[in-house]
Structure 1
């Protein structure tokens, strides 16, 4: 008689092989993996799942899966590095470029219930992103930023904490890197922030660099909080521009938009934000243009107000 199923394990995830990107898997196609059923709780939905651990190559650190397969499929990310499987980019960059709004609960409440529901919906599907209508300008941006080749430098060992304190005496036998740790925002990343695409310092750096490369470098005058849209469609109105702007920035609160000034005669508009941070976020999202009314418009920073002339 088969053993009775443990009711406490209902909804827990079992899998035979992880969902990984080529970088995390390593250069050697023949690797050994350890497998532990219900080895840890998922970093996002908190459900126990099957944990895999392996060494991706000589001189690399051991890697492990940190989220369950259901959460990885929902966001189409690697179970280890949490980068998008198609573009190799942070989810915040991808979701901003494609104007994808995440409906997943980010709090502890209902996360496990949501994951179980998504698991039933994803039967036979590789990803939960769907094939909805996305911006052509956003896709072009992702094509330019996509990392198509493996970046094995990410698999290097961690920095030796004893070396940083000047106390490591193992020399060349030490399995960790003998380098001084680099401080900054990039050194402190949160798993849930990376997964849900919010406050990700790596994503901010990528989008800022791309905006500068496309001629959208933020002006030094921090009082400038407006973007200038040109080559608008003749059918464009203030309402359609406002709606298109809000829909193209799903990760930004709609209250961050101060006003939209449409000049129909010149087919241009000023989009004014309440904060400089919101304006810089929009500039990064629209660095390759913005689709409004089936027309790709050009985006530029507004000009600072001239300083008053003293008598």
Structure 2
């Protein structure tokens, strides 16, 4: 029995050998080295001491460390560092709203510690782990929603160093040896300042709000345009393995297709229907069930109407042979400028 378990005041403290982190936070370095500090800090969720791990994910990256204990991470099935879902890499708020889940974890300090203590004892005793997020209980509809929002590959740019504040002031003297990035911040800085507690509880998360707003507006491009002559759908996300026959096999059931144009360089395609009714049926079906071919989720919107081809008079070529010579300056008016030979008061006139 360890000394931590023998002390009644330290029985709730965590003593682990390896952190629970996602692939992105772990980094692309296969030979990562970690430092371990038992009971180095208190968990930002349950305020209990836990083992802190610190490592360098890769080159040109900043050092990362665990922010919450493993018990709190298991409750939500999240990473100890970024507090994002381990399976889909999504914020807790996005995942719970997609699954219609409600958090059972208490929010007050005393109840939170009691809940974490009971959960830790169940996990340690080999219990069923009731209250832990179970991905096996997901419905096919929920899995489809999460798969559309989730990243298919690790996003290592998230591990980059922060922007140098002295560089923004024009006072950084380290040059290339500065461990921080020397670049200007992006336009959208609303997601920079985040609260780990809010992210864990799924409230007031700016990243989650941005993703949910993007999902709500994803089908806005399928609203039929006012121009009835538009019968073309624009498809994006077309990978190289998706052929014209694959698109033909999905869209032919909605009506006669005039042509299909695929551009793999820009990963897009145009579906030209013969009638407006067929195009509207296809757009309604995509808005309802989505479009996924060969494991790739595609986005479909209405194509923009063609500009009017009518030429205005200003665009006609100018015939210089028919142009009239400019009229001479008028002699009427007090403010009219006269040539010297036309001014009787000028010197040298007769």
Work out whether the TM-score is over 0.5: yes
Larger radius of gyration: 2
| 1:40 match: secondary structure | strand
**C-alpha spacing 1:3/1:104, structure 2 compared with 1 (3 Å):** closer
Q: Residues 59-110 of structure 1: CA distance to partner in whole angstroms, max 9, x if unpaired?
A: 1100000000011111001100111011011111100000111111123232
1:244 aligns to what? none
Following TM superposition, by how much is the alpha carbon of 1:288 offset from its aligned partner in structure 2, in angstroms?
A: 6.8
1:141 is the counterpart of 2:145: yes
What is the aligned length? 220
Matched, 1:169 2:173: yes
Normalized against structure 1, the TM-score is what?
A: 0.65
- 2:120 aligns to what? 119
Shift of 1:134: 4.9
Q: Which runs of 5+ in 2 are unaligned?
A: 223-286, 290-350
Change (3 A) 1:189 1:288: farther
Residue equivalent to 1:110: 111
Counterpart CA distance in 2 for 1:172 and 1:288 is 52
CA pair 161-131 structure 1, distance change in 2 beyond 3 A: closer
Structure 2 counterpart of 1:198: 203
Distance 1:135 1:208, change over 3 A: farther
How far the C-alpha of 1:21 sits from its partner, in A, is 0.5
Structure 2 CA distance for aligned equivalents of residues 55 and 3 of structure 1: 31
The residue that corresponds to 1:274 in the other structure is none
Given that residues 40 and 48 in structure 1 are in contact (C-alpha distance below 8 angstroms), is that contact kept between their aligned partners in structure 2? yes
2:51 aligned counterpart, secondary structure:
strand
Pick closer, same or farther for the CA change 1:141–1:214 going to 2, 3 Å: farther
**Bigger shift: 127-136 or 202-211?**
127-136
The superposition leaves residues 271-310 of structure 1 with CA deviations (integer Å, 9 ceiling, x where unpaired) of xxxxxxxxxxxxxxxx978xxxxxxxxxxxxxxxxxxxxx
Sort the Cα spacing of 1:288 and 1:208 in 2 relative to 1 into closer, same or farther, 3 A.
Answer: farther
Q: Indicate how the Cα distance of structure 1 residues 72 and 137 shifts in structure 2: closer, same or farther if over 3 A, else same.
A: same
Distance in 1 separating the partners of 2:211 and 2:3: 52
Asked if 1:33 is matched to 2:34, the reply is yes
Q: Which residue of 1 aligns with 2:86?
A: 85
Instruction: Give the one of 150, 153, 162 matched to 2:154.
Output: 150
- Residues of 2 paired with 1:288 and 1:142: CA distance? 16
Structure 1, 194-203 or 106-115: larger mean CA deviation: 106-115
Match of 2:212 in 1: 207
CA contact (8 A) 1:97 1:139 kept: no
- What does the per-residue CA deviation read over 1:229-268, in whole Å, with 9 as the maximum and x for residues that have no partner? xxxxxxxxxxxxxxxxxxxxxxxxxxxxxxxxxxxxxxxx
After superposing on structure 2, the runs of 4+ consecutive aligned residues of structure 1 that deviate more than 6 Å are: none
Q: Which residue of 1 aligns with 2:343?
A: none
Structure with the greater relative contact order (CA < 8 A, sep ≥ 6): 1 or 2? 1
Task: Measure, in 2, the Cα distance between the counterparts of 1:180 and 1:213.
Answer: 30
Relative to structure 1, the CA distance from residue 179 to residue 10 in structure 2 (aligned partners, 3 Å threshold; closer, same or farther) is same
Q: Could you say which residue in structure 2 is the equivalent of 1:232?
A: none
Give the equivalent residue in structure 2 for 1:19: 20
TM alignment of 1:1-311, pairs within 5 A: 5-123=6-124, 124=126, 128-130=132-134, 134=138, 136-182=140-186, 184-215=189-220
